[in-house]
Structure 1
Amino acid sequence: MHPSNTLPNPATLARPRRRRSPLTLGAAFGLLLTLVGGGAWLATRTHIVNLGNEQQLSDSGLLQDWKDGAVIVMIRHAERCDAAPGPCLDDPSGITVAGRLAAQRVGQGMQQLGLDGSDLLSSPKLRTRQTAHFILGQAVAGEDWLARCDHQFPAEAMARKRPGHNLVLITHNGCIDHFARQQHVPGGERESGYASALFVSVDGNGKARILGRMNEPDWQRVLASTTR
């Protein structure tokens, strides 16, 4: 048979090149933008360090900022009686007996930091007034904005911070949450335990920076080792 009449072997034929779909390229580009944007979003998050860790406490700069009067500390009230099985201190709308003891331990830690020259304010609710009494050992002025816990809370707190004077606020979880939201703290890190304290440094330009959180059981142990 003449070679020209021989049929070509299909296996030897070059396969046609497939054209990429514009939709596929667009989807890939969109995914890339999403990943880049997600990374940028994560980079703006503020993570709350545990000041119960001695190294993190030292690295935070809290002790020096406190000496400089450059700190706002927001302390959640102690264990509330209407949400705990323990015996009440007295009124059911106040704190428990265990809450009183916890507040006193926090107060001993605050005394180690030093309260001279600090401005002291409390929510007017009974549980916060009782907590303030056992932490600070004195009557503290009550202001309604410390109980409203709305989106104005961060601005209200910053407006009351005087240069050279630390500001101590005895308040509620919801109020502290609003401040943490403004500082771009992820939702899973914004919850404040009973009698825990969120420390914030305020610079000379009025810019706030979260230093970290001290939980009630850590106060005396950590401060005793860092202030001696």
Structure 2
Amino acid sequence: MSSSHLTPALTASTATQRRRGAPWRQPLTGLGLLLALVILALWWTSRTPIVDLGSDNQMHNSGVYSEWAKGAVIVLIRHAERCDRSHNRCLGDPSGITLEGSQAASDVGNGIQRLGLNNAQVLSSPEVRTQQTAHFMFGKAIASEDWLKQCDKGFADAAFKHKRADHNLVLVTHSGCIDHLERQLNVPSGERSSAYASALFVSMGSNGKARILGQMNANEWRKLVASAGM
């Protein structure tokens, strides 16, 4: 039989193999898909969602009350509404907060004080807006430290280092600083936000590991205090 008669058959067989694909490619494709699913699952489980603490049940279930009683909590509070980004009436200093912001700060402070400050340290950023917020929260001037306005990658570690054993730590700071801490604790970008005078609760374990308990917005404190009988 001449080679000319074999050519069509060989050509058809080769085309069939090409359509089916090389046999070794199919296992590799399945392995790649499995690996992608594993990576996606690991990424998903590593995310830290932010729990809304706007109810007494959530405060209990998240562990805020029990962790606070142990002195294991860091609370990061963003300053209240700032004058230079609002049309609301200002307290006076244009770099400070508004009158409306001062009322929100008072509500937050009332809630924090009802949790108990006997085993707590309170610090504030030295900026006017944070100092005013802290003053309206606690009715007095609060000690300030410069690191609380250094909103960079080192902020989270600085906050953890300032946490004393068996003492809660209340920090009045800025949204950028809170964002950096949330980044370090793997909070997804879509959940990294802090409204004026909102409070982010973080628990520090005995092993030095931090975990986010949840976040409370300023307008939820008054309702919580009333419902919980705090």
Which runs of no fewer than 5 residues in structure 1 stay unpaired?
1-15
Correspondence 1:88 to 2:85: no
Q: 1:139 aligns with which of 134, 138, 141?
A: 141
Partner of 2:46: 44
Distance in 2 of aligned mates of 1:167 and 1:141: 13
State the secondary structure of the residue aligned to 2:60: helix
State the secondary structure of the residue aligned to 2:158: helix
Matches within 5 A, 1:1-228: 19-21=20-22, 22-23=24-25, 26-228=28-230
Checking the alignment, whether the CA contact within 8 Å between 1:81 and 1:93 is kept in structure 2 is yes
Distance in 2 of aligned mates of 1:66 and 1:223: 16
- Most deviating of 137-146 and 185-194: 137-146
Alignment TM-score, normalising by the size of structure 1 = 0.88
Please identify which structure carries the higher helix content.
2
Partner of 1:3: none
Residue identity in the other structure for 2:73: V
Percent of aligned positions that are identical? 54
Which runs of no fewer than 5 residues in structure 2 stay unpaired?
1-15
Cα deviation, residue 150, structure 1: 0.5
Cα deviation, residue 28, structure 1: 4.4
Checking the alignment, whether the CA contact within 8 Å between 2:197 and 2:218 is kept in structure 1 is yes
Residue identity in the other structure for 2:205: D
Distance in 1 of aligned mates of 2:20 and 2:77: 63
CA deviations 1:184-221 (Å, max 9, x no partner) are 00011111000000001111122111100011011121
User: Structure 1 residues 20, 227: CA separation in 2 closer, same or farther (over 3 Å shift)?
Assistant: farther
Distance in 2 of aligned mates of 1:190 and 1:205: 25
Distance in 1 of aligned mates of 2:38 and 2:205: 31
Alignment TM-score, normalising by the size of structure 2 = 0.87
- Most deviating of 202-211 and 40-49: 202-211
Checking the alignment, whether the CA contact within 8 Å between 1:112 and 1:227 is kept in structure 2 is no
Q: How many pairs align? A: 213
Cα deviation, residue 23, structure 1: 5.0
Checking the alignment, whether the CA contact within 8 Å between 1:52 and 1:218 is kept in structure 2 is yes
State the secondary structure of the residue aligned to 1:210: strand
Cα deviation, residue 58, structure 1: 1.5
Cα deviation, residue 56, structure 1: 2.0
Distance in 1 of aligned mates of 2:109 and 2:176: 22
